[in-house]
Chains A and B, each alone.
Chain A
Amino acid sequence: MLRYALRRVLLLIPVLLGVTLVVFLIFHLTPGDTVRALLGEMGQGASPEAVAALRHQLGLDRPWYVQYGEFVFRAVRGDFGVSFRGERPVLPQVLERFQVTLQVTAASLTLAALCGIPLGVLAAVRRHTWIDYLLTVLALLGVSMPSFWFGILLMHLFALRLRWLPPSGAESWRHLILPSVTIAAASIAFIARMTRSALIEELQEDYVRTARAKGLRERTVIFRHALRNAFIPVLTTLGLQFGSLLSGAVIVETVFSLPGLGRLAAEAIKARDLPVIQGAVLWAALVFGIVNLIVDLGYAALDPRIRYE
């Protein structure tokens, strides 16, 4: 098990290299002039000579593989370069932003799992009753509601009308409540639906019938046996959700003025700030890989039949 985990961590290295290469290639394949994007709307008026000079100073006039080689060479030594927009070092920026994203993601997914799994179980057990139907419809409302819209509603209600919570920002834990609830709203449904369907699946398995035939209490059958197996797809879903949320929920971070990783990446993409894009994507990929590893190890913990040698 430990050796497996170690191997997986080592396998992350080629993945991360692959990610940086893909980002690099994409960056050089997509149309758009980096220097011009950097100068932005306000920088219209720069002469062709000035643009060419700036391109040279930033090293962007070299072939992409030279630039990539340099990036890898430096990154290996822990130097992720500086932003094109103001020369701030990339790594501390990414780490600062990641903290905020991590807090919000953890809070929202905990909330979502705490609501979603019991709801899913309830729906599965009371399958085809009005409770199941109601939960299905409510869950779907959460998924199909655009997050910015729900976020704006929450903000108007709790910050402007009731004045219970601050509208936006990241100063205290109270600032994080509304964005967490907004993100959770969509995830609850996803988790509840996955739990419901996986549990229904398991409840039809032979071992459940056997357990029931043995006269075990229904509660024991569901919670000790079926749910345990049903957790595999649920865990996969949770892991994927967690992983993708960690790269930042751009819209929610924008609506609630949160200095998260998603906004950092989105702004960098817009400005074609390659070092920051590279840093943010790399970090997101690393975290994602680790989360996935944990999920895979979780499989083995839940299902003794799965072994990693």
Chain B
Amino acid sequence: MRKFGALLLTLALFALSACGGGKAPQGGDGGQQGPSSEQKVVIAVSGEPTTLDPHKSFSGNVFGVTNQIYESLLARSPDGSLVPRLATEYRALDPTTWEFKLREGVKFHDGTPFDAQAVKFSLDRLRDPATKAPGAYVVSMIKEVQVVDDYTVRIITDKPFGPLPAHLAHPVTAIVSPAAAQKDLGKEPVGTGPFKFQEWKPGESVTLVANPDYWGGKPKIETLVMRVIPEAGTQIVELKAGTVDLITSIPPERFDELATDPPLTATRFLGWGTVYLGFNMKAGPLSNPKVRQAIAHALNRKAMVETLRQGMAQEATAMVPPRVAGAPQGLQPVPYDLDKARQLLQEAGVTLPLKLKLHTYDNAETRQIAGAIQAQLKEIGIDVEVSVTDFGTFDQDTRQPDHGLFLSQWGTVTMDADYAYWAWLHSSQHEADNRAFYRSPQVDQWLEEARAATDLEARTRLYTQIEQQLQQDLPYLPLYYPLTAYAKNRRLQGEVYPFAFINLDLRQAEIVK
């Protein structure tokens, strides 16, 4: 009857879920099991790295790991400024020539020295078509990398390109050991970073150990394990069970529960992301600016942020969040005003109910927001048909000249406004990410000016002008900036989590008892 017992257990569990809601015990022994005396940190990551070679992939899952092993010339500090990493200083010699002084006495994990040759090798490797690097476009403006002496390189761009330093802080521009690159960096990564590679169990975990010769001093954490835990609910159970120290994905509804659990702490802050609605300006009823404005007025973004996203987002006023360099300033969001929206629709002379199609791709957040938009637009007589697909299909669908609305997410990973605005708005990008098919000679000119300029204030002014123009033209409606959130066990201290998991800095972190 042992088997019978198993079935009874099944039934009992089912009853448990129905009555008790399967609620986990709060506090008490939660999370205090097995605190290691050793300096070992386990981090839960949502997706698996498919390689440990930063040039061979373009995904956050890969960069989250490679950024601990490798370093770029520059880095973004939490205050948004660019700070030296493998470069100590840099300056523009002329609009297309940049000179970088490199840090001396740095060694790769394989013992070979870091120098100008390594920088040239890495950037050339990233740009070389034979590498098949998906992220090569990040450095596509580079024409040549010149070695001046052992610790000086010059980078020459084909056109004046102000955001170049920002691009050289992107994790894809990691500097790799030329010697190790002759073998397979994907399996045996060798960089200059604070942690060295130890073991990779594909699909399961990557284990790193402290680099004793790190130029910034040996990290206190001895062992760093990145465990792949795809399900957010599972990450939370692991964190509460004390088997994981830090988790990177938190559903908004669970945030408070984690923030108030005594052994744990949860933090959230503005990152680099934007959730936005795009309009097809070329075809159909959306080519009428009044229809686009009506839609903008009909969406209650404040309620979306506060209620649906549980405060895990901030209402957007521009296409990039304010932490991004060059982000427009002093703008007001389009107010929620149903009467105005209805009036605009009437002025536009469209027959109601107006039928529109909204494309989005499948993740819990975009699906939820698509449903909310659908319900809100119904209020003003717009029937939205939602199409949720995988990202590849979404991408294809929204490139069709007759698509309607689309809902998408964007990360301004270089933390420079050019990265987003150029791709979204420049008329040369219709085949790429300008899926609103926006075309404005004026905005094109401002974008080119901002790209050529190096002075941040001047660039900020230009992007502010652009955004003001956008509020009239409305090719896109930025909805909100999702917050970056993470939760950790309090025994982990000293971590710096600037914008996203990708640039988590554990150099000063440690386990305290």
Contacts and interface: CB of A to CB of B under 8 A. Distances in A.
Interface stretch (A4-12, A264-272, A297-305): A264-272
Contact of A33 (B48, B60, B230, B396): B396
B50 A46 contact: no
Interface string A246-276: 0000000011111110011001011110000
B228 A257 contact: yes
A33 B395 contact: yes
A80 interface: no
A156 B234 CA distance: 9
Interface stretch (B14-22, B146-154, B456-464): B14-22
Contact of A115 (B6, B33, B433): B6
Contacts of B428: 47-48
Contacts of A114: 3
A47 B140 contact: yes
Given A45-B433, A93-B202, A156 B396 contact: no
A44 B13 contact: no
A254 B58 CA distance: 22
Given A42-B60, A138-B7, A145-B14, A255 B231 contact: yes
B125 interface: no
A166 interface: yes
B203 A161 contact: no
A118 interface: yes
Interface in A26-64: 30-34, 36-51, 53-54, 57-58
A160 interface: yes
B11 A264 contact: no
Given A37-B395, A50-B136, A156-B24, A44 B231 contact: no
B135 A259 contact: no
A163 B231 CA distance: 20
A169 interface: yes
Contacts of B11: 138, 141
A44 B410 contact: yes
Interface stretch (B293-301, B346-354, B386-394, B489-497): B386-394
Contacts of A34: 392
B7 A115 contact: yes
Interface stretch (B86-94, B209-217, B237-245): B237-245
B237 A167 contact: yes
Which residue among A44, A50, A170, A188 has the maximum number of chain B CB atoms within 10 Å of its CB?
A44
A88 B186 contact: yes
A161 B140 CA distance: 53
B222 interface: no
B396 to A, nearest CB: 5
A97 interface: yes
A141 B10 contact: yes
Contact of A87 (B4, B186, B395, B396): B186
A150 B187 CA distance: 36
A33 B392 contact: yes
Given A41-B411, A43-B134, A86-B51, A185 B10 contact: yes
Nearest to A114: B3
B397 A163 contact: no
B451 interface: no
Nearest to A255: B231
A96 B201 CA distance: 9
Interface string B405-421: 00011110100000110
A42 B3 contact: no
B16 A169 contact: no
Contact of B204 (A86, A150, A259): A259
A246 to B, nearest CB: 16
B62 interface: yes
A254 B48 CA distance: 12
Contacts of B187: 88
Contacts of B390: 32, 37, 269-270
A142 B13 CA distance: 11
A85 interface: yes
A259 B202 contact: yes
A38 B396 contact: no
Given A33-B392, A259-B203, A38 B134 contact: yes
A155 interface: yes
Which residue among B7, B22, B205 has the maximum number of chain A CB atoms within 10 Å of its CB?
B7
A168 B392 CA distance: 30
B197 to A, nearest CB: 15
Nearest to A96: B202
Contacts of B238: 167-168
A159 interface: yes
Given A39-B134, A160-B240, A170 B392 contact: no
Contacts of A280: none
B335 interface: no
9 contacts: A31-B393, A32-B389, A45-B137, A57-B129, A88-B51, A88-B187, A168-B238, A185-B10, A254-B230
Interface of A: 30-34, 36-51, 53-54, 57-58, 83, 85-88, 93, 96-97, 100, 114-115, 118-119, 138-139, 141-142, 145, 149-150, 152-157, 159-161, 163, 166-171, 181, 185, 188, 254-260, 263-264, 267, 269-272
| Closest A-B pairs by Cβ, 5 of them | A86-B51, A259-B203, A37-B392, A32-B392, A50-B137
Given A33-B392, A167-B243, 15 more contacts: A36-B396, A41-B411, A43-B134, A45-B422, A54-B132, A58-B132, A85-B50, A100-B203, A118-B3, A138-B11, A141-B11, A156-B24, A160-B241, A169-B229, A271-B392
